Homo-oligomer: A and B are copies of this chain.
């Protein structure tokens, strides 16, 4: 039995590779959680079925009276229709126009909120993690891409119908590499895990990174954040150099956002930061101090995320608990 009369919340992190479903009590303690591979290739109807199954299983595991479920919050990648809770397109999942809110609300007869995964993660860090009570917090999550989010005076900033704070697609160099968005020189093409992996693969090919050679070879899909960290620990100087270079440019991008938003806190999270926190924080802080306005540099704290891979689920649950679909 759940706490009688005290509402519980479900936070669901729908990722390209894994799904995480968490049941929280009214104090946002974890009651039950379940992790599964996304199996994106099985398509949307199948995927939604598996999500429903996961939710039912954490409800069972938590012995929760359905009447005590206050709502379900989702954190999803890709362009969304926030008002209507629709996943418009999730290239990593192969999903298009999935009416998540509609389907899940009918199924569980409880409020459902759909948010961008990085927005939810930033909101999670604001509510429970590194950025509690900050007037303005910018979340920056470099991983395969680079996501961003902003909570301003308690509210998630949002775009017209979807997410905003696309820091990964601000310009790092005026004529750089081709980005997944079709443009050139986006920050993602310089400072994401994928960009670093591509540069490191070249170093491996040239015989300059023997440890990484052994761990991953030249296949960039195998050069994950943890592998990069291991190669650096193993002594591959060129890998450290390339990671530091990327983190410096990430810092310039963060500096630009600081000049626009003057945040109290910038939270850095995601795979790259989790694997190489010290190096990345150091380079980002240094670059920000060069790039951002002096007064803003003085007032901003650049901190590592605290919630790890729970951030999105916690934030999504907090968003539905807040009861504001439109944030």
A-to-B contact residues, CB < 8 Å = 79, 135-136, 148, 152, 157-167, 169-174, 181-183, 252, 255-257, 259-262, 264, 290-291, 293-296, 299
Contact = CB atoms under 8 A, between A and B. Distances in A.
Contact of A171 (B79, B158, B255, B293): B255
Lowest 9 A-B CB distances belong to which pairs?
A159-B262, A164-B262, A170-B256, A166-B259, A160-B299, A169-B259, A165-B260, A170-B259, A171-B256
15 contacts: A148-B260, A152-B157, A158-B262, A159-B262, A162-B262, A162-B295, A164-B259, A165-B260, A166-B296, A169-B293, A171-B255, A171-B256, A172-B174, A174-B252, A256-B256
Copies of this subunit: 2
Nearest to A165: B260
A170 B259 CA distance: 6
Contacts of A299: 159-161
Contacts of A163: 262
B162 A260 contact: no
A254 to B, nearest CB: 11
Nearest to A167: B260
A288 to B, nearest CB: 11
Nearest to A155: B153
A116 to B, nearest CB: 11
B255 A257 contact: no
Contact of A291 (B79, B157, B183): B183
A164 B299 CA distance: 12
A296 B79 CA distance: 11
A262 B164 CA distance: 6
A163 B79 CA distance: 31
Given A165-B260, A182-B294, 13 more contacts: A136-B159, A152-B152, A160-B262, A161-B299, A162-B295, A163-B262, A166-B259, A166-B260, A166-B293, A167-B260, A170-B260, A171-B291, A181-B293
